[in-house]
Structure 1
Amino acid sequence: MQRVPHDISIGSFYLSPILVIALFGVIAALLTARLLDRYRLSRYFANPPVVIISLSMIYAIIIGRVFLGI
């Protein structure tokens, strides 16, 4: 039987675990994009916004697998 993640309670608000994982994925992608900009590596990408979206999805999948086992 799989472990089903429960809602996360912050104060009186209940958040879905997927929403929290997606938020952490976006934050990690923005930090990575900032590092890429700082070291001028983002100029090698044809479409940097698509790279940020892709990184946020990759980070969300990794965070979901590691912390929740989804």
Structure 2
Amino acid sequence: MDRCEECRFAYATVSTADLPPRWLARDFDALSPPRWSRTVVYNWPSAESQTILCLGRHTVHEVEHHLMDLTG
């Protein structure tokens, strides 16, 4: 599969898969304020301690960023 076909496949997959974003929103919504400040270790690009809030923001940013890669 060439790069263009990969992009079309990925876009079709993302555009038809609305459940994972709903699950992510549901899980974020369920977090109480103290839970947002809990820390986790995120391993990329190097292992660092981050809050759940920071990880959640990063996750949403990455989804938006990669969707823009696919849609232009």
Q: Same fold (TM over 0.5)?
A: no
Q: TM-score range by the shorter chain?
A: 0.3 to 0.5
TM (norm. structure 1) is: 0.39
